Amino acid sequence: MTDKDKMKRLAEARQRKDWTQKEIEEFAKRRSRELKKISEDTEEPDHLASGTQKSIEEICKDDDKEE
Amino acid sequence: MSLPSRIEAEQRYEKLRALALEVTQNSLTGNLKLTQITPRALEATQNWVSSRLRQYNWDWPQNYSYYEKSYPKRFEIAVWENNILTAISLGRPTYHATGMRLDVVEAMPRDLGERSNVFDTIILAYEIYARMISANHIRIMNPVNETVRAFYERYGYQYIAKGNYLTRDIL
């Protein structure tokens, strides 16, 4: 995908509020293929984790409200 | 949030969670099975305590209970392979609901057994749920170490030091 295509898709995504079921299913199929391709070329860490170093209270308190 | 609206929100988003998992499942070609976080999934995380790779002993049963009560709009996923739990994750919309935060994810440490890669499936499910709620980006919060952070970057995610998260627009 070219940068121009990316910008076009992003602009559309930011305006759209009503994706149809069919559009979501088509998106899912395309992204599934794209992600699978990256996965095949990328070694997943032996222990994949995020957020587990935080307490549940810290996670819930961080609500990105100030952004 | 008053009790009726809390229940209504839970019911409404429960349907969206189920649909997001169904659409994700239908997009997969391998033998992974996706569910929401069930009591059986929470129990299965207890088997990970014996791992030497696990850096933090995050208490999934206790923490899930807290999170579930706090966030009716949450997203949750458990990934199974040959009837074994291989990954689990919790997330929620950002404050302004323009994005989805992946707050916690953990895959079965590989010293406990072989498993397929799971991240591509998990992030696909988040992206589909995000589309359903009209969010336009994903944030992966608090990568547990540099290796994991670099791994996310391979998927096109950009690290934001302020806030310690990685982000990517949904395209």
Give me the interface pTM, i.e. the ipTM: 0.91
pLDDT at B49: 96
Chain A residues inside the 8 Å CB shell of B141:
50-51, 59, 62
Supply φ then ψ for residue A55, to 5 degrees.
Answer: -80, 160
* B81: region left, alpha or beta (phi > 0 left; psi from -120 to 50 alpha): beta
| Contact B151/A at CB under 8 A | yes
Q: Among partner residues A16, A29, A60, which is closest to B27 by beta-carbon distance?
A: A29
Q: Give whole-number Cα distances, B80 to A27, A67, B15, B55, in Å.
A: 23, 36, 21, 22
Which of B16, B27, B112, B152 is the best mutation test for A, with the most CBs of A within 10 A?
A: B27
What tens digit of pLDDT does each residue of B137-152 get?
999 999 999 999 999 9
Residues in chain B with pLDDT values less than 50? none
Q: How far apart are CA B81 and CA B29, in angstroms?
A: 13
pLDDT at A1: 67
- Asked if the Cβ–Cβ distance from A38 to B154 is below 8 Å, we say yes
pLDDT at B71: 96
> In 3D, which of B169, B164, B167, B128 has the Cα closest to residue B145?
B164
pLDDT at B89: 98
What tens digit of pLDDT does each residue of B53-72 get?
999 999 999 999 999 999 99
Question: Tens digit of pLDDT per residue, chain A (67 long)?
Answer: 677 776 777 667 666 778 899 999 999 999 999 999 999 999 999 999 999 999 999 999 998 766 6
Q: Give whole-number Cα distances, B31 to B83, B105, B124, in Å.
A: 10, 20, 16
Size of interface A-B (CB pairs under 8 A): 148
Q: Among partner residues A46, A51, A56, which is closest to B141 by beta-carbon distance?
A: A51
Q: pTM, whole model, 2 decimals? A: 0.93
- Asked if the Cβ–Cβ distance from B27 to A54 is below 8 Å, we say no
Supply φ then ψ for residue B35, to 5 degrees.
Answer: -140, 170
Please give the residue of chain A at the shortest CA–CA distance from B62: A56
- The chain-wide mean pLDDT, for chain B, equals 95
